[in-house]
Amino acid sequence: MIRTLFASALTLMLSAAPAAAEVVERSADHFVLRFELGLETTPEDIYGSIGDIGQWWDGAHTYSGKAANLTLPLEAGGCFCEALADGTTFEHGRVIQADPETGVLLDAPLGPLKGRATMAQWSIGWSGADRGWAMVMTYVVRGPGLGAMADPVNGVMQIQFSRLAHYVEYGEPPSEPAASTP
Tens-place pLDDT, residues 10-24: 233 333 344 577 999
- Burial (CB < 10 A; 0-12, 13-18, 19+), residue 129, is exposed
Whether the CB-CB separation of 33 and 153 falls below 8 Å is answered with: yes
Instruction: Let me know if residue 5 belongs to a domain.
Output: no
What pLDDT is stored for residue 117 in this prediction?
97
Provide the residue range defining the domain that includes 75.
Answer: 18-170
Q: What's the one-letter identity of residue 160?
A: Q
The more confidently predicted of residues 89 and 128 is 89
Tens-place pLDDT, residues 114-173: 999 999 999 999 998 667 899 999 999 999 999 999 999 999 999 999 999 999 999 998
Instruction: Let me know if residue 163 belongs to a domain.
Output: yes
Instruction: Let me know if residue 4 belongs to a domain.
Output: no
**Domain total in the chain:** 1
Question: What phi and psi values does residue 82 have, to the nearest 5 degrees?
Answer: -130, 125
Instruction: Let me know if residue 22 belongs to a domain.
Output: yes
What pLDDT is stored for residue 120 in this prediction?
98
Q: Where are the alpha helices (DSSP H) in 112-173?
A: 150-170
- What's the full length of the chain, in residues? 182
CATH of the domain at 110: 3.30.530.20
Instruction: Let me know if residue 179 belongs to a domain.
Output: no
In this predicted structure, the answer to whether residue 180 has a pLDDT above a threshold of 60 is no
Instruction: Let me know if residue 59 belongs to a domain.
Output: yes
Whether the CB-CB separation of 76 and 96 falls below 8 Å is answered with: yes
What pLDDT is stored for residue 176 in this prediction?
63
Q: What's the whole-number average pLDDT of the chain? A: 87
Instruction: Let me know if residue 126 belongs to a domain.
Output: yes
In this predicted structure, the answer to whether residue 37 has a pLDDT above a threshold of 60 is yes
What pLDDT is stored for residue 174 in this prediction?
84
SS3 154: helix
Angle subtended by helix axes 150-170 and 43-50, to nearest 10 = 120
The more confidently predicted of residues 94 and 6 is 94
Tens-place pLDDT, residues 40-61: 899 999 999 999 999 999 999 9
